[in-house]
Amino acid sequence: MRRKFTQLYYGYPLWFWGILFLSILLRVSSLWWNDRLLGDVNLFALTAREYAESGELNYPMKWDYSLKTNWGDLKTPQSQHPPLWSFMAGLGAKVFGTNNTYLVLQCLSLFSQCILLFVCFKILNALGGGFVVLGVSMVGLSPMLIDFAGNGSQYTLGTVFTLATLWLHIRDKHKSRANLLLSGVCCGLAFCTHGAFILVVAGAVVSTIVYNQGFVKRLSAVSFVLLGYIVAVLPMILFRLEHFGSTTHSLNGVFFGGVFGKLCLSNEAGGIFWRIESGWSSSDLILYFVNCLKVWRKFIIFLAFELSLPGIILALMGVFQTLKQRIQGSLVVLIFTTSYLVPILFWPGFKSRFLAPLLPLAIIFICIGVHHFFLKSLNRKKWEKIIIGSIFLWFGCSWLLSVSVTGSASRYYTFDLVHNENYQEMLGLVDKMKGLERGLVIGAARSLDGGMDAVYWHKFPYIHARPWVSGDGMKWETVARIRKDYQAKYFWTDEIMLTKYEPHMDQLQLVASSGKFRLFQFINLDSS
């Protein structure tokens, strides 16, 4: 009788299914505490709304200053990130007849998280049934993964495609051409979701080569992977060729140049454009390496916060055991983990949100580490309960710490107090804009990406005037050029940037303020 009560399906205990139910419930709950558009989610929501209204994947604002975009166009094609996520949200908004594209993005991320739990279950079951309880419990109760179910970001979908590829490679051992083709498609879709997944296809290729014998067989298998990949990324390639004349154009490349001081603004007769000022020298490479050390330090700190230091040690134990015994399925996991780690660890800036796709992979190695170093030699059930109980404790403590410090369960900006404060002040200014005459806004604040985060809420036409140029934004002469070319009516800024533009206050009239944010109306339009 007790056995029937404590065990339900596949021999897993009743409390495991309780954890699974709780994890889904918490993911649904995350829709309510994620009440703001964070970072790039704002861009996706804006682009999705444009697509729902016009059928075009455009930013409803001037955001791209590259030579490959028309200076005169206020709306410019999406170029910050690959277009798949905003396309899906825009299509969803069209189907359901809503302009609340943020809610659509939230629903998509929630659905992706539910799929993520299922794929993790399948992978862990394929690696060994003993991994399922611990692994799914950790994935299900991870504070970051719970939060990412409701914040509308694209990371979970990219993770789902990556893990789906991983599962196909583990279960089929690369014999089925259909699975190889499908794995390539999943790799391509992951990349079309976020640039951080750019090397997932390399992981699939390496895995295919390693686990196939003979040159001809390897070549054939790799060909099917690459064919699927090309089919998936072809729409994105055509989109970039049509709008930018290049397959690689992305504002993230501009960001890379800006970090190392290579970016400058050129005020030309045809418009204002970004340019790379100089080439790369040996000293730049040293600077890049030093920057990488800073990235790795932040990576370890944030990872320890999400998994705990013992969790990281257990994951490293799992990696060691995988390499030592050459465990086939686990080696595939390691290959794919490396394919994701390389881009984020060598990018010039690290954000805690980059960890979201990594956590399920790290948890798999934690399971391997626990299994080989604890559960084989000791009482399995006893240690399973101790470890899962410890996970409960750590996740709960990290969650409480995050909420107590930031006032929010959000993990998109870990411990970013300034962002939370700024957002509330921004909404206050947006509320005051509702009574103003509609007109084009030039945003030149240091906070909230130049005021761009406000666009979704106030819906005024907008031009971003704080590009990534040494963090100082545009000179007033450049702002004046934009004002003249686009007949701008308002100027959005904050206290920090206001000191920069203070000598030109005779051309501005304050119309609204909230906290550190200011909204001015341009006057003396004929003056230089």
Higher-confidence residue: 111 or 255?
111
Rounded Cα–Cα distance for residues 214 and 208 (Å)? 12
* Domain-wise residue ranges, the chain: 2-243+282-406, 417-522
Mean pLDDT for 496-505 is 88
Measured between its terminal Cα atoms, the distance across the chain in Å is 87
Q: Percentage of the chain with pLDDT > 90?
A: 53
Residues 317-340 pLDDT 10s: 999 988 887 777 888 999 999 999
**Total residue length of the chain:** 528
Any bridge partners for residue 509, and if so which?
521
Phi, psi at 466, each rounded to 5°: -130, 65
Model pLDDT, residue 294: 93
Phi, psi at 348, each rounded to 5°: -70, -10
Which of the four pLDDT bands, split at 50, 70 and 90, describes residue 6? very low
Model pLDDT, residue 379: 65
Mean pLDDT for 426-447 is 92
Dihedral over Cα of 138, 144, 148, 154: its sign = negative
Residues 330-370 pLDDT 10s: 889 999 999 999 999 999 888 899 999 999 999 999 988 88
Dihedral over Cα of 477, 480, 484, 486: its sign = positive
pLDDT of 489 over the 90 cut? yes
Collect all residues with Cβ–Cβ distance below 8 Å to 113 and sequence separation of at least 6. 27, 145, 146, 148, 149, 156
CA 228, 231, 233 angle in degrees (round to 5)? 110
Rounded Cα–Cα distance for residues 290 and 293 (Å)? 5
Mean pLDDT for 287-301 is 92
Q: Average model confidence (pLDDT) for the chain?
A: 88
Residue type, 89: A
62's enclosing H/E stretch is strand 61-62
CB 150 within 8 A of CB 27: yes
Rounded Cα–Cα distance for residues 464 and 329 (Å)? 48
Higher-confidence residue: 256 or 93?
93
CB 131 within 8 A of CB 368: yes
Strand pairing report for 263-268 and 76-77: unpaired
272's enclosing H/E stretch is strand 271-276
CA 468, 407, 444 angle in degrees (round to 5)? 25
Residue pointed to by tokens 């049509």: 242
Phi, psi at 326, each rounded to 5°: 50, 55
The 10 Å Cβ neighbour count of residue 231 is 13
pLDDT of 1 over the 70 cut? no
Cα dihedral value 136, 141, 144, 148, nearest 10: 80
Locate 333 and state its tokens: 């996991």
Residue pointed to by tokens 């060909």: 223
Collect all residues with Cβ–Cβ distance below 8 Å to 459 and sequence separation of at least 6. none
pLDDT of 438 over the 80 cut? yes
Residues 156-185 pLDDT 10s: 999 999 999 999 998 876 568 889 999 999
Name the maximum alpha-carbon separation found in the chain: 88
Model pLDDT, residue 264: 82
Residues 443-480 pLDDT 10s: 998 888 888 889 999 999 999 987 766 556 788 888 99
pLDDT of 10 over the 60 cut? no
Rounded Cα–Cα distance for residues 334 and 353 (Å)? 21
CB 501 within 8 A of CB 475: no
Which of the four pLDDT bands, split at 50, 70 and 90, describes residue 381? low
